[in-house]
C-alpha cells in the first residue's frame, strides 16, 4: 500500500429519505452479500452504523470495475442508518450533521415526497454533498431482474417498454429536483460532478445498481474530499444518542470521525446543566456480524479508531446533550486548559442555539436535543409558524418567564418536543396564562398547536 493511501479514513455516509423508500432494505442488501459469502472480517454492524470494509466494497463493485478504473483507497465506508419514521426526523438530522456525504433515497414511483424535501433542505443547510438513489427500479413495467448487476448492464438488457417506463419516471424526478433548485443527471451522464446531482438507479430487492451506488460514493469522497477524509490524530467525535443500558447505566452512542478513543481517557462533553468531565470506563461495540439474525452482545475495546460508531460508558452522562461534540483530555493537559475546553463545549451549545433564527413575535420551542430542535424548527418554518425563542432540555420556570413577554395569546405558548415539564414551571405557566404543549412526535405537537390556534382565532 502506498503511504498516501494509508492516510485516508473511512468516509461517513448517511442514508436519508422519505419513509418506505427502501433505506433499510438498501442497507440490508449491502450487508447481506457479504454474509452470504461468509467472509471473515466482513461488514460489521456498529452503534447506529454499518461498517463496510474495502474488501466488501471491492467485491461488490467488481461487476462495474472489470478494468480496475475505480481504485479503492479508503479503508472502508461507515454508513449511518437513519430510521425513516417521522418521529425519528431528529435522528435524520443528527446523522446528517456529521456525515461527509449522503445518499438520498427516492422511490421511483413516488418521486420526491415530504420527507425527501425536508431532507434536501437539511442537506442544503449543512452543505453536505449527496447523491440520489432512485430506488425500486424493479417495479418498472416488465422489468427483468439481473441480480446484483451494475445498472447499465441491466438496463441494456431490458425490453423497450421497461426502458421507456424507467425513462419516464426518472425524468419526472429530474424535473422535481429542478423545482428544488438542483440540476440532476444519471450519474454516468453527469458531466459536472460539482454542480449536478448524480442519480443512481437502484433496486434494494434485486441488488441492481448497488455496485454503482457504492462505487460512486467511494469515487466522490476520494476525489473531492481527500483532505476532509484524511486521517488525523486529533479526536473528532459527536454524540449521537444518550441511552440507558440495563445493568450498566447511562451511555452515550458516538460517531468517532477522527482520531482514536482509549479506555481510561478523560473526556469533556456538554451537559444540560454545564460541562461534564468524566473518564471512559468502557468502549463498547457489537460483536462482529457473523450471522445477520443473531443479536450480538457488546464487546469491550481498549482502543477504537475513526471512523467508527461506538458506545461509551462513563459516570455522569445523564445530562449529556446529543448532537454536541466530545473532547479528549490528554494526561499532560493542565487544569486551566481543561477549564478552557469545558467553557468551549458550553459556548458551542450556546452558539448552536443562537444560530436558530427567531422573531420578535412567536411561540417558544423546546426540544430534547439540538437535532430534535432543528427538526422541529424545519417543521415550523414550512408551516409558517414564527418562533421567538428556542432551548433544549426540560421546560423550567426560566422558559416560562421568557415566554411571558409574548403579548399575543397565539404566541404565549411553549411547544415542548420530547421533553418533560417541571411541575413548578407548570404552575407558573398557569398563572401567566401560558399554554404548554407536549408531544413525542413532531406531528402531534404541531396538530395540537394548530387546533389551539383555530379555536383562538374563532
Interacting residues with ligand GDP (CB under 6 A): 19-25, 84, 135-136, 138-139, 203-205
Least separation in angstroms between CB 149 and ligand GDP: 13
Picked from ligand GDP, Mg ion, none, the partner binding residue 154 (CB below 5 to 8 A depending on kind) is none
Picked from Mg ion, ligand GDP, none, the partner binding residue 149 (CB below 5 to 8 A depending on kind) is none
Picked from Mg ion, ligand GDP, none, the partner binding residue 135 (CB below 5 to 8 A depending on kind) is ligand GDP
Least separation in angstroms between CB 31 and ligand GDP: 12
Q: Using the minimum distance from each CB to ligand GDP, give the nearer residue, 84 or 271.
A: 84
Q: Using the minimum distance from each CB to ligand GDP, give the nearer residue, 136 or 277.
A: 136
What is the rounded CA–CA span in Å between residue 417 and residue 163?
Answer: 46
Least separation in angstroms between CB 21 and Mg ion: 9
Picked from ligand GDP, Mg ion, none, the partner binding residue 203 (CB below 5 to 8 A depending on kind) is ligand GDP
Picked from ligand GDP, Mg ion, none, the partner binding residue 263 (CB below 5 to 8 A depending on kind) is none
Task: Tell me whether strands 260-262 and 236-245 are parallel, antiparallel or unpaired.
Answer: unpaired
Q: Using the minimum distance from each CB to Mg ion, give the nearer residue, 84 or 271.
A: 84
CA count, 13 A, side-chain hemisphere, 350: 9
Beta-bridge partner residues of 13:
79, 101
Least separation in angstroms between CB 139 and ligand GDP: 5
Q: Which residues bind Mg ion (CB under 5 A)?
A: 23-24, 84
Q: Using the minimum distance from each CB to ligand GDP, give the nearer residue, 13 or 425.
A: 13
Least separation in angstroms between CB 218 and Mg ion: 23
Q: Using the minimum distance from each CB to ligand GDP, give the nearer residue, 21 or 366.
A: 21
Q: Using the minimum distance from each CB to Mg ion, give the nearer residue, 75 or 84.
A: 84
Q: Using the minimum distance from each CB to ligand GDP, give the nearer residue, 19 or 35.
A: 19
Least separation in angstroms between CB 26 and Mg ion: 9
Picked from Mg ion, ligand GDP, none, the partner binding residue 281 (CB below 5 to 8 A depending on kind) is none
What is the rounded CA–CA span in Å between residue 139 and residue 152?
Answer: 17
Picked from ligand GDP, Mg ion, none, the partner binding residue 25 (CB below 5 to 8 A depending on kind) is ligand GDP
Least separation in angstroms between CB 124 and Mg ion: 23
What is the rounded CA–CA span in Å between residue 374 and residue 154?
Answer: 41
Amino acid at each position: 500500500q502506498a503511504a498516501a493511501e494509508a492516510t485516508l479514513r473511512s468516509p461517513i455516509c448517511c442514508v436519508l429519505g422519505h419513509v418506505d423508500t427502501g433505506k433499510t432494505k438498501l442497507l440490508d442488501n449491502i450487508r447481506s452479500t457479504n454474509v452470504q459469502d461468509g467472509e471473515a472480517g466482513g461488514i460489521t454492524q456498529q452503534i447506529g452504523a454499518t461498517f463496510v470494509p474495502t474488501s466488501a466494497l471491492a467485491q461488490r463493485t467488481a461487476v462495474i470495475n472489470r478494468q480496475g478504473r475505480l481504485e479503492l483507497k479508503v479503508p472502508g465506508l461507515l454508513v449511518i442508518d437513519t430510521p425513516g419514521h417521522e418521529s425519528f426526523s431528529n435522528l435524520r438530522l443528527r446523522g446528517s450533521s456529521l456525515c461527509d456525504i449522503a445518499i438520498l433515497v427516492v422511490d421511483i414511483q413516488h418521486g420526491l415526497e415530504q420527507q425527501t424535501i425536508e431532507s434536501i433542505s437539511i442537506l442544503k443547510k449543512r452543505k453536505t454533498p449527496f447523491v440520489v438513489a432512485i430506488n425500486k427500479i424493479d417495479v418498472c413495467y416488465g422489468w427483468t431482474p439481473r441480480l446484483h448487476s451494475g445498472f447499465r448492464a441491466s438496463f441494456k438488457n431490458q425490453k423497450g417498454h421497461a426502458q421507456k417506463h424507467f425513462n419516464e419516471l426518472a425524468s419526472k424526478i429530474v424535473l422535481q429536483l429542478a423545482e428544488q433548485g438542483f440540476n440532476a443527471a444519471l450519474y454516468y451522464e453527469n458531466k459536472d460532478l460539482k454542480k449536478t446531482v448524480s442519480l443512481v438507479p437502484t433496486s434494494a430487492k434485486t441488488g441492481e445498481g448497488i455496485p454503482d451506488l457504492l462505487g460512486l460514493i467511494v469515487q466522490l469522497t476520494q476525489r473531492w474530499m481527500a483532505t476532509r477524509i484524511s486521517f488525523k490524530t486529533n479526536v473528532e467525535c459527536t454524540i449521537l444518542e444518550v441511552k440507558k443500558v440495563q445493568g450498566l447505566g447511562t451511555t452515550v452512542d458516538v460517531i468517532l470521525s477522527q482520531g482514536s478513543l482509549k479506555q481510561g481517557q478523560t473526556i469533556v462533553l456538554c451537559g444540560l446543566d454545564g460541562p461534564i468531565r468524566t473518564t471512559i470506563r468502557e468502549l463498547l461495540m457489537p460483536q462482529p456480524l457473523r450471522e445477520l439474525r443473531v443479536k450480538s452482545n457488546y464487546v469491550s475495546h481498549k482502543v477504537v479508531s475513526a471512523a467508527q460508531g461506538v458506545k461509551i460508558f462513563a459516570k455522569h452522562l445523564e445530562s449529556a446533550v446529543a448532537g454536541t461534540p466530545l473532547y479528549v483530555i490528554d494526561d499532560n493537559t493542565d487544569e486551566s486548559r481543561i477549564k478552557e475546553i469545558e467553557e468551549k463545549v458550553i459556548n458551542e451549545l450556546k452558539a448552536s442555539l443562537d444560530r436558530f433564527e427567531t422573531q420578535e413575535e412567536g411561540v417558544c420551542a423546546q426540544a430534547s436535543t439540538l437535532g430534535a430542535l432543528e427538526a422541529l424548527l424545519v417543521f415550523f418554518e414550512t408551516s409558517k409558524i414564527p418562533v421567538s425563542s428556542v432551548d433544549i432540555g426540560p421546560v423550567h420556570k426560566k422558559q416560562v418567564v421568557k415566554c411571558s413577554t409574548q403579548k399575543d395569546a397565539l404566541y404565549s405558548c411553549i411547544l415542548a418536543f420530547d421533553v418533560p415539564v417541571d411541575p413548578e414551571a407548570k404552575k407558573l405557566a398557569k398563572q401567566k396564562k401560558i399554554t404548554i404543549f407536549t408531544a413525542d412526535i413532531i406531528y402531534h405537537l404541531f396538530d395540537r398547536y394548530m387546533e389551539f390556534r383555530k379555536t383562538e382565532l374563532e
